[in-house]
Amino acid sequence: MSVSGLCTVCESESAEYTCGRCGSLVCEVHYDPTVGFCVECAGEIGNSRPGDTDQPDDGDTYRF
């Protein structure tokens, strides 16, 4: 499947990828292949990968 249109981030380059999180069409510069997201979504999730949780690794419950 081919992607066509302008990058939704810079609005000047041709879009080559689709963000796996928000569905935006983005150019190579604004796509993070390590997570499969646009740079905006990748920045929102930080260094986590798809499927990661916010739970700590040292326990199985949260305490309040």
The dihedral formed by the CA atoms of 10, 22, 19 and 53, expressed in degrees to the nearest 10: 130
Confidence (pLDDT) at 16: 95
Q: What is the pLDDT of residues 12-54, one digit of tens each?
A: 999 999 999 999 999 999 999 999 999 999 999 875 554 554 4
pLDDT at 2 over 80: no
23-61 burial code (b ≥16 CB/10 A, e <16) = ebbbbeebbbeebbbbebbbeeeeeeeeeeeeeeeeeee
pLDDT at 59 over 90: no
The answer to whether residues 25 and 8 touch, using CB atoms and an 8 Å cutoff, is yes
The answer to whether residues 9 and 27 touch, using CB atoms and an 8 Å cutoff, is yes
Confidence (pLDDT) at 57: 53
